[in-house]
Structure 1
Amino acid sequence: MRLVGLLLAVLALASVEDHEIFDLAAQIEAAEGKGTTFYSWLGIPSTASIAELNKAYRKKSLQLHPDKNPGVKGIHERFARLGVVASILRSSEGRERYDFFYKSGFPRWKGTGYYYSRFRPDLASVLVFLIILTSALQYVVQRFTYKRDLGRVEYFIREARSAAWGPKLAPVEGPRKVKVNMGGPGRMDDEGNFIPGRTLDMVVDGPDVFILESDGTRIPLDTSAAMPPSLKRTWFISLVSSLIARVTGKSSEAQATSHTDDVVEDEASGAETASTGYLSEAPAKNGNGKATATTMAGGRRRKAVRKR
């Protein structure tokens, strides 16, 4: 994949004039012999002046003129190529481009330039490459975000159990309400008292761990709360799926239900956006504009469990 991407990038950067030079150089080598260059074919050094170039061209054109070589196979093509070579070397820009590749080397594959002359990416090829590249990068971001959120969920579960059961993690019957530090540093007030950082209210009830919301509801917290990466949530596949859904005529009610579910999930996790589908840094907020406890723990909102 990397080799293909590099090849596409090189080909896309090459200009039309460069392609003409590459083709012409390959044709001259095929017709005049391997290693033949524009300069060696004309019999002049690469430092030749315009006057020396014109003189060499007149001499060579007399030798290759079709009227002086009747019946010689390929003479017309050779004579035409000679005129193009002279035209390129007479142009300051054309000669500069040729000299660059003359000194640095021409792109070759399999020794003949076959792939270069046969495959030149058009706009569609470049667009396909960009779609694959951006979708792959988006998937990588999804994986990174999933690992980050998974780590946060595991941290809160571990810290909640430790606070409820003690450092030996010996299970205790019955629910235990605990406060878990959210990782923020504490601070000292003016009187020298230590003020801990922000904490999260949680409940440990047997093997289950819950986030305790301000209204007393319990939100189950486990590793499934982290959104795993998915190719279906990359932008291009999401776009295609959306277009297919519209074309196939899904009912507006089904679409509205799906949209509502997505909004609830997005507002709780602050992680998944409608356009790209991967996790964001912005925390979800409740009706008062405050971040929810579920989001701060790195999880998605799940069905609440009322306190018994």
Structure 2
Amino acid sequence: MRLLLIFTFITIVLAWSPEDYEIFKLNDKVRQTIGPETTFYTWLNLINGPKSTSQEIKKAYRNLSKSLHPDKLNFKSSKERKKAEEKYAILSSVNNILRDASRKERYDYFIAKGFPKWKSTGYFYSKFRPGLLLTIFFVYLLISLLHFFALKINRKQNFKRIANLKDEIKTQAWGGSKVAPLDGSDRRLTNETGKIFLVKNNGDVFIEDGEETHLIDENEINLNPGFKDSLIFKLPAKLYNLTFGKVFKPIDMTITYNKPVNEEPEIEKKKKKSKGKKLELPNGKIVYSRKK
């Protein structure tokens, strides 16, 4: 109901008044009869245009009406006389509008802003119709913006997923605790998929792939992609490098990213300070003696 009231209000506000329709129709007649670029002022030869005074308008109308009056012209046929009478009637209507201050003000407004055009059911301003190249450019720009925002969202989701996976692996490796073993030992864990993880006592998590181990680090993901990550840069730069870049200097597409360094939590610093001397037991475990 509210939307209907808003729509009705907008329709009433934007609707042309009867005086506006009168001006539009008369303007169309003048352009059809005298010329497509003709205005009321140019027809009356008013060089000051909208700034013309009422006296200037009155004088210009009298001069033109004398030369166009049907009774002072010789016609070879009734058809020619009829056309002259229509032209004289149009001139009279033009004079009536320019001599009326409110209607003249409306006419001057449309002179400055442009006249709407007749479209089957009423007068409407012509819609902007961009060319093919401009349309392609705007579509490409829109797709690039969507790609950029999707890139940021996906990276945040991947960052969160990796961080959660590390927390889950550490909790399982440390026996359900979120605190590393006090003996300082590293732990191995095989999950339900058969993947082997190595959890260091400092909280780093590695995945073992045969004889190699790879650090799992969410900070490898750049959460703030830059201009070079965007499609609006990458596609034109790649096309340039494949064409003109082979002759001229290619565009540098290298993306630099400085991974943030995680500072050691304050609680871990305090824990290390409270530890004594580091000792290695015969079984390979690392323990700390009590501080004296």
Question: The TM-score by the shorter chain falls in which range?
Answer: 0.3 to 0.5
Greater relative CO, 1 or 2 (CA 8 Å, sep 6+): 1
TM-score using structure 2 length: 0.41
